[in-house]
Amino acid sequence: MYSNQLFELLSTRSGPIKHILTPQVFISRTLHTWDMTGIKYRLSLPVAAGAIFVAIPYSISLLAQWLYGWPDEPGYKKYIQALKPRRVYCLTRAVLEILKHVQYSRLYFHWKSWYKDVSNSKHCVKGVPFGRRGNKLDLYHSPSMGQSESELLPVVVFVYGGAWGSGERSMYCLLAHQLAKELNASVICPDYSTYPKGNVLNMVQDLCDSLIWVRENGRSFHLDSDNVVLIGHSAGAHLCMLTTLFLVEALQELFTEPFSHRELTDSIKGIIGLSGVYDIMDHYLHEKMRAVEYVSTMHKAMAGIENFDYYSPTVHLKTLNKEQLRRVPPVAVLHGTSDIIVPVASSEKLRDVLASLSVSVTLYLLPGLNHAEMVTDLMAEDRRFYHTVFGCVKQEYSRF
C-alpha cells in the first residue's frame, strides 16, 4: 500500500516516470537478485571445500613427492600409491609442520650474520680442509685458549643432523660457540658427505677423518687429542654412535690408517646424543606412519632396507663381544617429550639395550621440548630451554 502511494506521489511531482521502477518490478528484481546470490553462495561452499580438502592437499603432496621421491612401486603403481588419500593428507600435514620453523627466522639471520662477521674470527678458525673427500671443519676456541702455552684443552666434536641429506657446519656456529664457552672446550664442527654426495658409510668415514685430523693437528691448536667427546643431534647422534661402534669393532671398511681403530676409540671419552635415531627400522616405520618414508633421504642414505639392521646402533651393539663392549664409552641420551619427528621411544630403546649389555648410560627426558628446540635453544642464552639442556649436557660432560 505504502509503495503505491509513494509511486503516485512521485508521479504527480515529477511527471511521467520512465526510469523509476514500479513496486512490482522492484520487488521482482530484488527477489531475483537474492535468488542469484543464494545460488552463488550455494555454489561457493563446495568450491571452497574442494579447494581446502582436495586441491590444496593433493597439490602439496604431489609436489613433495615429485621433488623428493615417489613411492617405491613399479610403473604406474607408484602414482596410484602416491594418490591414496591417507598418504596425501599425512604427507601434507608433515609438510605444513615445516612452516613452524618460521619462528626460528630471527636465529637464522643471527647465525648468518655471526658467521660472516670477520671480527668473530678471534673465536674460531673456519674452513679447515680434512679427510679423504676434501670436507671442511670449523674449530671454535675455548675461552681458556691462550692462557697457557702448554695446556691442552679437551675436544668436543659436534655432529649436526638433517636426515642424512642436508645441513652444513655454518648453521651451527652459534651452538658451537656456546658449547665452547659452556664446556670450556675446543669444539670442532665438521661437514660430512650427506646424501646424495655419499651414503651412511661415507658419513662414518668422514667422522673418522675428523678424529684423525684432531690427532694429527691437536698440538698445533692446543687440543688434547686423547680427550674427545662426541655430541650429535638427530641423524648426527646416530652417526656418533655408529662411528664409535664401527671403531670398536675395528671394521676395515673405515680405512683409518695411519691410526689404529683402538687408538681412535680410546680417545672418545663419551657420547651425548640429542634426539637421536638409533634403530633405523623403527624410525622407518615411524616415517611410514607419517607417509614421509619415500620423500625422506634416510632409506636412500642407508642404501636400502636390507642394510637397516647393520646401520642401527641398537642392533649392532648386540653383535659385539664382551671385550668390545668394555671399550664402548659412556653414553648420555637427551630427548624431548614433545618430539614428533623422532619419538622418545628411540632414546628409551637405546638406553635399554646399553643397560642390558652393562654399558654406562643415562637418559634425560625433557618435558615440552620438541625436535628442533633441542638444538635451536642451545644457540642463545635467552632461549626457553637453553639452561635446561645445557644443565644436562654439562653434567654428563663433567662425568666423562
The pTM score is 0.83
**Sequence-ordered list of residues with C-beta below 8 angstroms from that of 366, at least 6 positions apart, any chain:** 334, 335, 336, 337, 385, 388, 389, 392
Q: What is the DSSP letter of 22?
A: P
Q: Would you kindly state where each structural domain of the chain is located, as residue ranges?
A: 19-98, 117-399
Q: How far apart are CA 45 and CA 398, in angstroms?
A: 62
Integer angstrom CA distances of residue 15 from 6, 18, 202, 309: 14, 9, 96, 97
Identify the CATH homologous superfamily for domain 117-399: Alpha/Beta hydrolase fold, catalytic domain (3.40.50.1820)
Cell of 319: 653383535
- Cell 678458525, residue? 125
Is there a contact between 267 and 210 (Cβ–Cβ < 8 Å)?
A: no
Integer angstrom CA distances of residue 376 from 101, 176, 289, 369: 10, 11, 26, 11
Residue pLDDT tens, the chain, 400 long? 444 443 444 344 444 444 455 555 545 555 455 455 555 545 466 655 555 556 777 677 767 777 777 787 777 777 777 777 777 777 777 777 777 777 778 888 999 999 999 998 889 999 999 999 999 999 999 887 755 666 889 999 999 999 999 999 999 999 999 999 999 999 999 999 999 999 999 999 999 999 999 999 988 899 999 999 999 999 999 999 999 999 999 998 888 876 788 899 999 999 999 999 999 999 999 998 888 878 789 999 999 899 999 999 999 999 999 999 999 999 999 999 999 999 999 999 999 999 999 999 999 999 999 999 999 999 999 999 999 999 999 999 999 8
Burial of residue 215, with CB atoms counted within 10 A of its CB: 0-12 exposed, 13-18 middle, 19 or more buried: middle
